[in-house]
Amino acid sequence: MTRSGGCQCGAVRYEAVGEPQHHAVCHCADCRASAGAPLVAWMAIAEDQVRVTRGQTTTYVGKTGARRQFCPGCGTGLFYTNAEMLPGIIDIQSATLDTAADEVPGAQIQVAERLPWIDDLTALHRFERYPGQ
Q: For binding to Zn ion (CB under 5 A), which residues are involved?
A: 7, 9, 11, 26, 28, 31, 71, 73-74
Of residues 16 and 41, the one with the C-beta less far from Zn ion? 41
In a 13 Å sphere around the CA of 77, the CA atoms on its Cβ side amount to 25
Cβ at position 52, least distance to Zn ion in Å: 12
Cβ at position 88, least distance to Zn ion in Å: 19
Alpha carbon of 12 to those of 16, 51, 72, 127, 133: distances in Å? 14, 11, 9, 32, 35
Host H or E run for residue 58: strand 58-61
Cβ at position 97, least distance to Zn ion in Å: 15
Of residues 26 and 41, the one with the C-beta less far from Zn ion? 26
In a 13 Å sphere around the CA of 91, the CA atoms on its Cβ side amount to 22
Of residues 49 and 82, the one with the C-beta less far from Zn ion? 82
